[in-house]
Amino acid sequence: NAGVTQTPKFQVLKTGQSMTLQCAQDMNHEYMSWYRQDPGMGLRLIHYSVGAGITDQGEVPNGYNVSRSTTEDFPLRLLSAAPSQTSVYFCASSYLDRGIAGGGNEQFFGPGTRLTVL
């Protein structure tokens, strides 16, 4: 299994450009999510999905769009890049526990995409 893969590893954009960060997992996980990590800080949740066709906003969704047309893929789109979006972006996936104590489980993280917006 490849686990969680992210492309590209590095990207430089100019202000106003758009792009899509790719994320794929081969573990048949229902739950997928995107985070950004700024220097010296923890991860902040951008968007997440509990299954194909279902997405929801996290802590910092503005400026980003997501879609989940398949279980495997969860791309993150930057609509009009801004310098404030310079960050390292991580994608993660996990099984879901929909029981009484429902919620996430162990998250498997991708290696990250380092994005610089000039």
Partner 1 sequence: SQQGEEDPQALSIQEGENATMNCSYKTSINNLQWYRQNSGRGLVHLILIRSNEREKHSGRLRVTLDTSKKSSSLLITASRAADTASYFCATDSSYKLIFGSGTRLLVRP
CB under 8 A: which stretch of 17-25, 67-75, 76-84, 102-110 binds partner 1? 102-110
Q: Least distance in Å: CB of 78 to partner 1?
A: 20
SS3 category, 93? strand
Tokens representing residue 45 in the block: 């949740």
**Cα–Cα distance measured from residue 106 to residue 13, given in angstroms and rounded to the nearest whole number:** 32
Based on its alpha-carbon atoms, the radius of gyration of the chain, rounded to whole angstroms, reads: 14
Q: Is 108 in the site for partner 1 (CB under 8 A)?
A: yes
3-state secondary structure 31-43: EEEEEEECCCCCE
Q: Which positions from 40 to 79 touch partner 1 by CB under 8 A, shown as an x/- string?
A: -xxxxx--x-x-----x-xx--------------------
Q: Is 101 in the site for partner 1 (CB under 8 A)?
A: yes
**Cα–Cα distance measured from residue 85 to residue 107, given in angstroms and rounded to the nearest whole number:** 23
**Contact residue for partner 1 among 25, 33, 55, 93 (CB under 8 A):** 33
Interacting residue ranges for partner 1, rule: CB under 8 A:
31, 33, 35, 41-45, 48, 50, 56, 58-59, 90, 92, 96, 101-112
